[in-house]
Amino acid sequence: MIRRSDNGKPCLVQGFLLCCGALLLLAACQSKSTEGSDQLTLQGNAQGSTFTIKYLDSLHRDFSGPVDSIFRVIDRSLSLWDSTSTVTRFNASADTFETTDPHFRVVHSLALGYWRTTDHAFDPTVLPLVRAWGLGKSGRSELDTTLIRGLRSHVGMDRIKFTERFRSKPDASMTYFKRSAHVQFDPNGIAQGYTVDVIALYLQQQGIANYMVEVGGEVRCSGLNESGKPWLMQIDKPEMEHVQQTVVPLQDKSLATSGNYRKFIEIGGKRYGHTIDPRTGRPAMNALLSASVIADDCVTADALGTALMVMGPEEGKAWLSQHREVEAYFIIDDGAGGYEVWNTPVWPTK
């Protein structure tokens, strides 16, 4: 089970609240909403994708400035595309790395918890294998078994040790010890969900009770929309175009979907999904086309969606039967050119 603290919040997520005090220093400017409506909408590009934020505010405050600041602060911490980010500097370090960056520390702590909870199916240290397979613009159809074995020796959250000072003093420096210089940390499987949660917390701190925050398809909803109903979120069919598979009513919950049907390489007529199974060192070649997860917070939904894609349908179903605190919706290749749907018993329907 995902442990919960005395106040009911998941222990894995409670830590990220520590880093949000700085966000309160951001000032919001004023703006007008659509005439006759208290709903405001923010949209744009961020983290290599798009975002949409809707919230109800009778004061018609414009939070675009603070939201932009949040994106920039998190990118400076977790972006692999920023040569000066904390995670880039961590990956470049030889063995010891010290930082006071709260976002990096919290995301690492969360990732370690999910790594343990999912029996290592979620593992952000898989980056050396992802790069070796070339899952991107080009790729390989096979890797030498010896090479895979060598790369796997650098994969595993237990390859990163750290001091315990963070738990007792959040603003203290944190020191990490890499087992080797080849150990790498890739926060992409968790960063967007984490960003959604940070933005959602900021809105809550501004007194916003009804909102929808979506970044790159990962979403968190609170309260009701302007029609007084739960927010409706779409899950796509496993196709290249965005075609509706189902609609999910979401209230005070988060939703994240992972899939391989849009991100893959094709070599010799065979498709290889972008999800690497860190336990085998090879692409997760199973029948699961997409996994959608509903959880209390988006960072959990994001991480578990990735983990379930690694597990595949049967292992994923078995894992979910032991973790009733989350709901899931699977789209599974039926082996005959179509697909079938499976969901946990209390998955919400419109």
Q: Is the pLDDT of residue 299 over 80?
A: yes
Determine the average pLDDT of the residues in 285-314. Answer: 95
pLDDT for residue 282 is more than 80: yes
Contact yes or no for 311/323 (Cβ under 8 A): no
Query: If we measure between CA atoms, which residue out of 191, 200, 41, 198 comes closest to residue 104?
Result: 191
60 within a domain of the structure (yes/no): yes
- Side-chain-facing half-sphere of 209: CA atoms under 13 Å: 5
pLDDT band for position 238 (cuts 50, 70, 90): confident
User: Rounded to an integer, what distance in angstroms lies between the CA atom of residue 13 and that of residue 63?
Assistant: 24
pLDDT tens sequence across 105-155: 999 999 999 999 999 999 999 999 988 887 644 455 567 788 888 999 999
Residue 55 lies in a domain: yes
Give the distance from CA 18 to its chain's centroid: 19
DSSP 84: T
pLDDT at residue 242, rounded to an integer: 77
Angle at 85 between CA 193 and CA 116, to 5 degrees: 45
pLDDT at 26 over 50: no
**Residue 3 covered by a domain:** no
For residue 7, is it within any domain? no
Q: Do the domain assignments include residue 31?
A: yes
For helices 298-311 and 102-117, give the axis angle rounded to 10 degrees: 40
CA distance 16 to 166: 12
pLDDT bracket for residue 246 (50, 70, 90): very high
Q: Are 274 and 260 in contact (CB under 8 A)?
A: yes
The residue-averaged pLDDT of 270-298 equals: 87
Residue-wise pLDDT for 175-188, tens only, equals 999 999 999 999 99
Residue-range definition of the domain harbouring residue 302: 18-343
Give the residue-averaged pLDDT of 301-309.
Answer: 97
In a domain, 296, yes or no: yes
Helix, strand or coil, per DSSP, at residue 104: helix
How large is the angle between the packed helices 298-311 and 313-321, nearest 10 degrees? Answer: 130
Could you tell me the two tokens for 278? 């860190």
162-166, 225-229, 267-271: which is most confident: 225-229
pLDDT of residue 10: 46
Mean pLDDT across the chain: 86
Which of 148-157, 260-269, 324-333, 336-345 is predicted least confidently? 260-269
Give just the sign of the alpha carbon dihedral 315, 319, 321, 327. Answer: negative
Give yes or no for residue 170 having a pLDDT over 70: no
Instruction: Specify if 309 maps to a domain.
Output: yes
Q: Is residue 5 part of a domain?
A: no
* Predicted local distance difference test score (pLDDT) of residue 33: 57
- The pLDDT value recorded for residue 284 is 85
pLDDT of 258 above 80: yes
When divided into structural domains, the chain yields a total of: 1
Question: What stretches of the chain show up as alpha helix (H) in DSSP?
Answer: 11-14, 64-78, 86-92, 102-117, 127-133, 145-152, 165-168, 188-205, 298-311, 313-321
- CA 201 to mean position of chain CA atoms: 16
Token pair 């175009």 is found at 241
Question: Is residue 171 scored above 80 in pLDDT?
Answer: no
pLDDT band per the 50, 70, 90 thresholds, residue 37: confident
| CATH code of 77's domain | 3.10.520.10
